Amino acid sequence: MNSAAIFPARSGLVARAVDWMIRHPAMFTFLMVLPISLWLGIVYIGSLIALLMQSFFSIDEFSGVIVKEFTLGTYAELLRPANFDIILRTILMAALVTLASAVIAFPIAYYAARYAKGKWKALFYIGIMLPLWSSYLVKVYAWKLVLAKEGILTWIFEKLHLSWLLDGILSLPVIGGNSLSVSYLGTFIVFIYIWLPYMIIPVQAALERVPGAMLEAASDLGATPRQSFRMVLFPLALPGIIAGSIFTFSLTLGDYIIPQIIGSGRLFIGQAVYVQQGTAGNIPLAAAFTVVPIVIMGVYLWGARKMGAFDAL
Amino acid sequence: MTEAVSFRGVSRYFGHVRAVDGVDLDICDGEFFAMLGPSGSGKTTCLRLIAGFEQPTSGEIKIYGEEASGVPPYRRNVNTVFQSYALFPHMNVRDNVAFGLRVKGVSKPERHKAAEEALALVELAGFGDRRAGELSGGQRQRVALARALVNRPRVLLLDEPLGALDLKLREQMQHELRQLQRSLGLTFVFVTHDQKEALSMADRVAVFADGRMQQVGTPEEIYSRPASRFVADFVGSSNVIPADFAGAGPAGRWASLRPEDIHLDPRGRDAVVTSRAYHGRVIKLGLSLGCHKLTALLPATASVPETGETIRVSWDAGRAHVMGPEA
Amino acid sequence: MHSEKRAPLALKLAAAGGLVFLLAPIALIFVYAFTTEEKSFRWPPPGLTTKWLGVTLGRADVWEALGLSLKVAAISTSIALVLGTMTAAAVARSRFFGRETISLLVILPIALPGIITGISLRSAFSLLEIPFSTWTIVLGHATFCIVVVYNNAVARFRRTSGALIDAAMDLGADGLQTFRLVILPNIGTALLAGGMLAFALSFDEVIVTTFTAGNQSTLPIWMLEELIRPRQRPVTNVVAMAVVLVTVIPILAAYWLTKEGEHTDGAEK
């Protein structure tokens, strides 16, 4: 009982440094966030700002040299029909992909959340997780196999004696093409496939939170199944759908690999950025193009937040 | 006697909030000392200052005469029983109890032996292999106590250790803690917001409000001679009335008058009975004397006045305790 | 709770169709890895062979790309573990000026499309005249790996009571002992999960990498080149199958691990 009330300080540089930090918690916090602040705050944000600044420069059309003077001319170039088409095409694609993903995801999420049990539950888990975690490029590659002119889809249509239907679809203007792998329709299908798990997971999570008693209450109060879906289930799943749409919309806006491998050859925003900064060497225009998805997603996130989608993430 | 803990002008500010404001305090060796106050009164911050989790903004703290300001918690021979118990979830009970010896480099067989002894002391012998999650609230509390005591600290700090227990267990633990403190002869510093607990267990009590120490003294002193209106209100069911109304002092000062000192008196003042409740052999009456509200405890005799009835009461002015001028 | 209820037929068909849509393309990869067809994606395969497995094993460029991918993923994950944990500790444990800004900063690299991260890093490298190397790839990958570790660690830190750290120090553990004996065991599984996610993310990353890689090829870059300009389709098929296998095994493992937990709960969910 006669031991000291205060133990002597431990020797050694590290022990003394730790002692000192514990006495100065603010300094400790500062040292903990210093590396990340330097990395993300200076290197990353610095790069982003440098890029955005370049969107206010322009390129000399004859020499290809970047003119470092403030101009809005590069943004004006975005409004040229050739460039503006790219923007519209990308937004339209992102919107359609989002809509279709929601429609396809809902029954899967609904079944997985409310009916699947035991083995089926396992199958649904793997069915959602496997495509989510598989390599992005492998998935794109798999679809190249599926959609190829000599591939399995053509074969299936042939065996079902529905080749006329496939040919009919492919001969449609705009969305059709020589084969599905070189058409907008192909791009659309692959986009849906790749981003579908990002829609299923939040919708399933939202549906799992709906108590079963609530649907029983609805039917008890005289709602037909259709009415209880429309008036109870759908509104409760909506935040999940909006949360999922953030992913499908944003990921489609920024992607440049899928339309490059499976598509008609007409550019999307991501490809335009890639081409402008690479082969064309027009960094200012590439930078201006990147501002478009940033602005669109900013507005989208602001709207989604208002609808309570962040609670469903 | 040496002071186990002494505070001299100790303040701890969090930004503009004065959690502890100019406290002078001496805790004696071997004493069971309670810090009593409502939440946010600064009592827990005082405890954390002794443990070393907080450092004073100004003033000095000594533990057994040694300067403690700036010394981190792990260099203080002081241990804490936390309100949430804070048992390590990834260790079993034995490793929890032996933790303090482990970090001091005590060998495994030795620290396991000490842990078993400490567990026996809190009547949990044989519980060493259990996980903290498998224990009841009362058992966790005992483990937390054993984990602190095994280090043989000079001062043991207890942060509302009984708050999470149900009433029956709580009374039992109050008794056991008191026994343990006596038999070990350790200095216990106990933080609570429950005035009954503080008054019944402690040798001395310090009452806190708004970061200041309002009064320190034996439970008897605190109860019968509260130093301020706040202490009288918080500690007891004393009536706090103007000193001149009590007939005990000058206008502008306050006096406390214990409910049992008010009695029926046909020559006394008119009082309207506003409420009444039986408490065994006594009856508790709410009285209204003009604009003053008082509580009186009367023997539950046959003639108990009804609510709404006017009765006559009086008290001995000498029984009223006049408090110091308001700070 | 809804065990007696039967799903409507239309819902069943839609859900089953969805599962086929999700899984069939991946299954197809396994068939193509064994096809004898070399020049096209012909279905059904004219014949089956295991010849291409051996050919792929002997390809130096595949091994080199795999090696670089593993190296980049390992370094990026290590950096992410250190920085992510430090940041999570500060954000979860204390309130300080700029705390909100830091938590926003950390998610920015995955909230913004990868192409923006890629192009801005590339233009920063060229502005600062930094030559492309393994380290420029690592810089890009670690930037978006940090958030994965951070998210896992911050959630665990929030659930771990601050009183545990106080308790450890109170019992005599100095800062390093507290970290080793109390903090690390409590956040260990969260770091493991975050580290695995970060590794997988880095191993599969292609969009940022195309901007920061220069002449080196990670495995995804190798795949991408094969997709744009196919040189040897059968080898690509085998590599694709190998990559799927590598991702399937941890998913199945994770499923069986979590399933055990469900059984002990005994809850009928």
Residue C263 has pLDDT above 80, yes or no: no
Q: State whether residue B105 sits within 8 Å of chain A by CB.
A: no
Q: Average model confidence (pLDDT) for chain B?
A: 89
Q: Is residue C264 part of a domain?
A: no
Cα-based torsion angle of the residue sequence A105, A108, A112, A115 in order, rounded to the nearest 10 degrees? 130
**Residue C218: domain span:** 60-230
Q: Average model confidence (pLDDT) for chain C?
A: 84
**Number of domains into which chain C is organized:** 1
Q: Is residue C84 part of a domain?
A: yes
Q: Where are the domains of chain B?
A: 3-231, 239-322
Chain B from 187 to 216: CB within 8 A of any A CB: none
Percent of chain A at pLDDT exceeding 90: 17
pLDDT tens across A16-53, in order?
787 787 777 788 888 888 999 998 888 899 999 988 88
Q: What is the pTM of this model?
A: 0.79
Buried b vs exposed e over B173-197: b needs ≥16 C-beta within 10 Å? bbeebbebbeeeebbbbbbbbbbeb
* ipTM > 0.90, yes or no: no
Structure confidence at residue C215 as a pLDDT band (50, 70, 90): confident
* Closest CB from C161, C164, C172 relative to B74: C172
pLDDT tens across A90-102, in order?
999 999 999 999 9
Min distance B52 CA to chain A CA atoms (Å): 9
Q: Where are the domains of chain A?
A: 13-54, 77-312
Residue contact C173–B99, C-beta within 8 A: yes
Which pairing describes strands B32-36 and B204-209: parallel, antiparallel, or unpaired? parallel
Residue C2 has pLDDT above 80, yes or no: no
Residue contact B99–C171, C-beta within 8 A: yes
Q: State whether residue C169 sits within 8 Å of chain B by CB.
A: yes
* Closest CB from A130, A141, A293 relative to C23: A130
User: If you average pLDDT over residues C191-206, what whole number do you get?
Assistant: 87
CATH of B3-231, picked from 3.30.9.10, 3.30.470.10, 1.10.1740.10, 3.40.50.300, is 3.40.50.300
Residue C35 has pLDDT above 80, yes or no: yes
Residue A1 is predicted with a pLDDT of 43
B269 forms bridges with which residues in the sheet?
Answer: B313
Q: Is residue C118 part of a domain?
A: yes
- CATH number belonging to domain B239-322: 2.40.50.140
In order of B56, C66, C192, C254, the CA distances from A130 in angstroms are 56, 21, 20, 12
Residue A85 is predicted with a pLDDT of 92
Query: For an interface test with A, which of C31, C32, C41 has the most A Cβ atoms less than 10 Å from its Cβ?
Result: C41
Residue A226 is predicted with a pLDDT of 81
Q: Is residue C10 part of a domain?
A: no
B263 forms bridges with which residues in the sheet?
Answer: B314
Residue C1 is predicted with a pLDDT of 41
More confident: C105 or B113: B113
User: If you average pLDDT over residues A206-212, what whole number do you get?
Assistant: 83
Distance CA C190, CA C192 (A): 5
Chain C from 179 to 198: CB within 8 A of any B CB: 181-182, 185-186
Q: Which has the minimum average pLDDT: A84-88, A296-300, B297-301, C84-88?
A: B297-301
* Closest CB from A41, A127, A142 relative to C105: A41
Residue A91 is predicted with a pLDDT of 93
CB pairs under 8 A between B and C: 66
pLDDT by residue, tens only, chain B of 327 residues: 578 999 999 999 988 889 999 999 999 999 999 999 999 899 999 999 999 998 899 999 999 999 998 888 999 999 999 988 999 988 999 999 999 999 999 999 999 999 999 999 988 998 999 998 889 888 999 999 999 999 999 999 999 988 878 888 888 889 989 999 999 889 999 999 988 899 989 999 999 999 999 999 999 888 888 888 888 888 876 888 888 888 888 888 888 888 888 888 888 889 999 998 888 788 888 999 888 888 888 887 757 788 888 989 989 888 888 887 765
Nearest chain A Cα to C262, which residue? A118
Residue contact C227–A125, C-beta within 8 A: no
Partners of chain A (3+ Cβ pairs below 8 A):
B, C
Residue C257 is predicted with a pLDDT of 64
Nearest chain C Cα to A263, which residue? C228
CB pairs under 8 A between A and C: 260
The answer to whether A55 and A291 have CB atoms below 8 angstroms apart is: yes
Residue A309 is predicted with a pLDDT of 58
Q: Which has the minimum average pLDDT: A61-70, C131-140, C250-259?
A: C250-259
Min distance C247 CA to chain A CA atoms (Å): 6
Residue contact B66–A5, C-beta within 8 A: yes
The enclosing H or E element of C160 equals: none
Buried b vs exposed e over A64-98: b needs ≥16 C-beta within 10 Å? eeeeeeeeeebbebbeeeebeebbebbbebbeebb
Min distance A205 CA to chain B CA atoms (Å): 29
Burial of A279 (0-12, 13-18, 19+ CB in 10 A): exposed
Helices (H), chain A: 13-23, 25-36, 45-54, 73-78, 81-114, 118-133, 136-147, 152-159, 163-170, 184-208, 212-220, 225-228, 234-254, 258-261, 269-277, 283-306
B207 forms bridges with which residues in the sheet?
Answer: B36, B215
Name the 3-class secondary structure at C80. helix
Q: Residue C156: which CATH number?
A: 1.10.3720.10
Residue A310 is predicted with a pLDDT of 59
Residue C77 has pLDDT above 90, yes or no: yes
Residues A77-312, CATH architecture: Orthogonal Bundle (1.10)
